[in-house]
Amino acid sequence: MGAESRFQGSIVALVTPFKDGSVDKPALKSLVEWHIAEGTHGIVPVGTTGESPTLSHDEHEEVVAETIEAAGGRIPIIAGTGSNNTVEAIRFTQHAAQAGADAALVVVPYYNKPTQDGLYEHFRAVHDSAEIPIILYNVPGRTVADISVETVARLAKLPRIVGIKDATADLTRPSFTRLEAGADFIQLSGEDGTALGFNAHGGVGAISVTANVAPRLCAEFQEATLKGDYARALELQDRLMPLHKALFAESSPAPTKFALSVLGKCSDEVRAPLLTATPACQTLVRDAMTHAGLLNG
């Protein structure tokens, strides 16, 4: 199966469930089973939503390995392996390849603000370190650095850099990237609220936060766009849009973990410096879940 058909649709940016300060492995495995049953098309463990900045190296690698084992090859696993330290990103990417991940999601280095040439060399080094497809991850709202379309196009010439997760919410980006990197370069939205327009501009899916809470609806939404049924997709967008907003009412993934606790999937525990959702945020999330049909009014 080609990369184009493997990495598309609703790909969940999976939370890392905690219990009493440690990774909750039974809850993690249960979440993977739930996503497969609900029709999720792929899973990203230990991305931003997986609280990767506060996981130890051992925990990071453990969550990747546990997710791969739980999925058992039924859907693709795209392991989050990025870092602002190139050596660390190489370590995580090599581990993901050895553990059997289908691809690695590598974020633009954060905090140290590399130049475009620095970004190119970072991703080239990660690419050269392991035999695994790589999906770039551009989220300037968190990293400050913003990888340009031109740099993406340079990187797309490397054989194992197969796509990008674009969390800029700039709907001109997928069109320009399509022109510069080619129609076969995989473009995945990293911003739920604009995923409808993103796919109309040439995207083939989303790495989604909302899919944590509404996996079936998000899968149906993505399938509708990929079939060109934008009328059905718009109906689903109207159901999901308040949830897209509510899950970022406070620092992610606290609202998402609260929603999952309401559904009985895991605790709402997050790691410092994040805090659990406030009562006001909880009300917003519950109202949005009710609007989406996930809770009774």
Catalytic member of 19, 137, 245, 257: 137
Helix (H) and strand (E) counts for the chain?
Answer: 13, 10
Q: Which residues contact 34 (CB under 8 A, 6 or more apart)?
A: 215, 265
User: DSSP class of residue 77?
Assistant: B
Kindly tell me the burial class for residue 157, based on how many C-beta atoms sit within 10 Å of its own C-beta (0-12, 13-18, 19 or more).
exposed
Q: What whole-number distance in Å separates Cα of residue 241 and Cα of residue 289?
A: 10
For the question of residue 165 being annotated catalytic, the response is yes
Q: Which helix (H) or strand (E) holds 164?
A: strand 161-166
Q: What whole-number distance in Å separates Cα of residue 68 and Cα of residue 144?
A: 31
Omega before 253 cis (within 30°)? yes
For the question of residue 29 being annotated catalytic, the response is no
Query: Is 230 in contact with 203 (CB distance < 8 Å)?
Result: no
Catalytic member of 165, 230, 257, 265: 165
Structure tokens at 53: 């900045």
- Show which residues are catalytic: 137, 165
